[in-house]
Amino acid sequence: MLYNYDRVADTYDATRGIPPGAHETVTDGLISALREVAPDPRVLEVGVGTGRIAVPLAEMGIRLTGIDISRRMLSRLHRRNQGVAAVLAEAARLPFREGSFDAVLFVHILHLVPDPEATLRAAAAALRPAGALLLGQTTFSPSPVHEIRPLLDRTVEEVTGRPLATPRRFVDTEQYTTLLPGMGFEVTGARVLATWRDASTGRDTLADVAERRNSNTWNIPEAATPAILALLAPRLEALLGGLDRVYESEARFELRVARRSAQPPH
């Protein structure tokens, strides 16, 4: 499935943000990693969206091009900052010459593309010989949030008779990096660029489902949504000890860097 974020372009920044302070730390960490690759790197971000990662980098002097399949997300990026070159394109079919970039950056995108391996190969082709792939993601410490997704999946399947989404081959960045040695890359361990406390409630989850804020809810039939919410609300209340009870977890922005190996892939 190809996930096009046109439908959430107007609310994306409000629902996906990294808190102030942590965001600046993430930007600083990314700049440091990029300048380890080249003193004045030319960077491509795959899945640039509204520019929540790209714009702060560009404002700090990083030469950045972004691609996305969502016209509305790119439109918001253009209004926000015209210093990021924005291109409408698919991740597995990049419209750039080979060796165009010093680094290719992925943040929370590989789980959304139809063919992660083709996407990584396209990115590798776009790199200069000494270039690097940077893979970033936010992870969360154990909390009730990890029980909410399976609960939602079961509820949706109970109402609709079908699973919420097609199972993915991989679910996190660390697993995607297992594809890279076969492409001739060595991957560093995760660098933690920033940590912060993430807080939410069961009522937030119900709003996410009702308003289809997250891509995992886009396959829910509209006609089934009221029945799903009616079942989900008391289940969340029982799981969390109240719909308005705040639950917290530690969020961490992790970065892995992949550089071409001195040894050819087997």
For 44, phi then psi, to 5°, come to -110, 125
Q: What are the residue boundaries of the structural domains of the chain, listed by start?
A: 5-260
The model carries a pTM of: 0.88
For 168, phi then psi, to 5°, come to -90, 150
Supply the pLDDT for residue 20: 87
Supply the pLDDT for residue 12: 60
Supply the pLDDT for residue 22: 94
Supply the pLDDT for residue 234: 97
Task: Compute mean pLDDT per 10 residues along the chain, 266 residues long, and list them.
Answer: 61 70 96 97 95 94 95 88 88 96 95 90 96 93 83 94 71 81 93 93 93 82 95 96 92 95 59
Closest CA to 187 of 99, 240, 247, 124: 124
Supply the pLDDT for residue 16: 67
What CATH topology corresponds to 5-260? Rossmann fold (3.40.50)
Supply the pLDDT for residue 145: 74
Q: Return contacts of 146-155, CB within 8 angstroms, 24+ apart.
A: 147/239, 148/202, 148/205, 148/236, 148/239, 149/216, 151/232, 151/235, 151/236, 151/239, 152/205, 152/209, 152/216, 152/232, 155/228, 155/231, 155/232, 155/235
Supply the pLDDT for residue 170: 58
Supply the pLDDT for residue 37: 97
